[in-house]
Amino acid sequence: MTTWADMNLQDSASPIMEQLIYFHDYALMIITTILMVISYMIYILINNKFINRFLVEGQFIEMLWTMAPAVILIFIAIPSLRLLYLMDEINNPMMTLKTIGHQWYWSYEYSDFLKTEFDSYMVSQNNLSNFRLLDVDNRVTLPMNTFIRVIISASDVLHSWTIPSLGIKADAIPGRLNQISFIITRPGLFFGQCSEICGMNHSFMPIVIESIYINNFMKWISETN
């Protein structure tokens, strides 16, 4: 999870988030290179003492500064589009989680199992043993290394189900179903929050996913039923 002093992206817990971090670093490298080149050119122009009164055009330099941005945009667009389609890909999910946003809590239903559904509210701030404004009374328990599909909707207003460390964000829209998929690559707790302003208590409807081994998950499902 992110701490107050953390200025970087959260550590990835899914292959998609790893790719997002790689693309972020790749784009940042290109932007830094452009900034350095432009800064050098500005410095040279400021300190240049030569003047050419008869220079009215430069076809080569004009062609160069037209083609160079186009080539740079192509190098950015190709991995960006690849990543965009990877995020939308759904490949035979092994289990489905149904998520419904309410004002101001989340409801979850494990569609592949009978009688496994619950509401998830933020715990009281008076309980200092929990993560302030992030922990919930009922965590979403999911198995790691399992392809999971999440179907998202809302019962009242717009919400957004977001887990930064998994690289997922999907709007919860009343009367409409959105779906996302992911694989959790390590056990642990992963925190998120509603990312769409949904009313007075928008800041107080966190999301907590607890990733565990598949054997422990089956035991948890058996105990829940």
Mean pLDDT of the chain: 87
DSSP state letter for 127: -
User: Do 189 and 152 belong to one domain?
Assistant: yes
pLDDT (0 to 100) of residue 108 = 92
pLDDT (0 to 100) of residue 76 = 93
pLDDT (0 to 100) of residue 2 = 66
Over pLDDT 90: what percentage of the chain? 34
Count of structural domains within the chain: 2
Residue 171, classified by CB atoms within 10 Å of its CB into exposed (0-12), middle (13-18) or buried (19+), is middle
Residue type for 89, please? Answer: E
Residue of higher predicted confidence among 211 and 7: 211
What pTM value is reported for the model? Answer: 0.80
Whether residue 98 contacts residue 109, with contact meaning beta carbons closer than 8 Å, is answered with yes
User: Do the domain assignments include residue 54?
Assistant: yes
User: Do the domain assignments include residue 149?
Assistant: yes
Span 100-104, average pLDDT: 90
CATH code, domain with 44: 1.10.287.90
pLDDT (0 to 100) of residue 67 = 93
Does residue 3 surpass a pLDDT of 80?
A: no
User: Do the domain assignments include residue 4?
Assistant: no
Whether residue 23 contacts residue 80, with contact meaning beta carbons closer than 8 Å, is answered with yes
User: Do 45 and 103 belong to one domain?
Assistant: no
Does residue 146 surpass a pLDDT of 80?
A: yes
User: Do 174 and 215 belong to one domain?
Assistant: yes
What is the Cα Rg of the chain in Å?
A: 24
Residue finishing a domain among 52, 87, 122 = 87
Domain coverage including residue 51? 15-87
User: Do 132 and 79 belong to one domain?
Assistant: no
User: Do 66 and 121 belong to one domain?
Assistant: no
pLDDT (0 to 100) of residue 13 = 84
Span 214-224, average pLDDT: 86
User: Do 69 and 119 belong to one domain?
Assistant: no
Residue of higher predicted confidence among 8 and 83: 83
User: Do the domain assignments include residue 209?
Assistant: yes
User: Do 163 and 210 belong to one domain?
Assistant: yes
Residue finishing a domain among 26, 58, 87 = 87
User: Do the domain assignments include residue 182?
Assistant: yes
CATH code, domain with 200: 2.60.40.420
Contacts 24+ apart (CB under 8 A), 8-14: 9/164, 10/164, 10/165, 11/165, 12/165, 12/167, 12/185, 13/165, 13/166, 13/184, 13/185, 13/186, 13/188, 13/190, 13/211, 14/165, 14/166, 14/167, 14/168, 14/182, 14/183, 14/184, 14/185
Q: Write the pLDDT tens digit of every residue in 166-180.
A: 888 999 999 899 999
User: Do the domain assignments include residue 10?
Assistant: no
Q: Write the pLDDT tens digit of every residue in 195-210.
A: 889 888 888 899 999 9
Residue of higher predicted confidence among 7 and 210: 210
Residue of higher predicted confidence among 223 and 72: 72
Span 107-115, average pLDDT: 85
Taken as a whole, the chain contains a residue count of: 225
User: Do 141 and 217 belong to one domain?
Assistant: yes
User: Do 43 and 115 belong to one domain?
Assistant: no
User: Do 105 and 177 belong to one domain?
Assistant: yes
User: Do 141 and 105 belong to one domain?
Assistant: yes
Confidence bin at 117 (pLDDT 50/70/90): confident
User: Do the domain assignments include residue 168?
Assistant: yes
Residue finishing a domain among 40, 70, 87 = 87
User: Do the domain assignments include residue 7?
Assistant: no
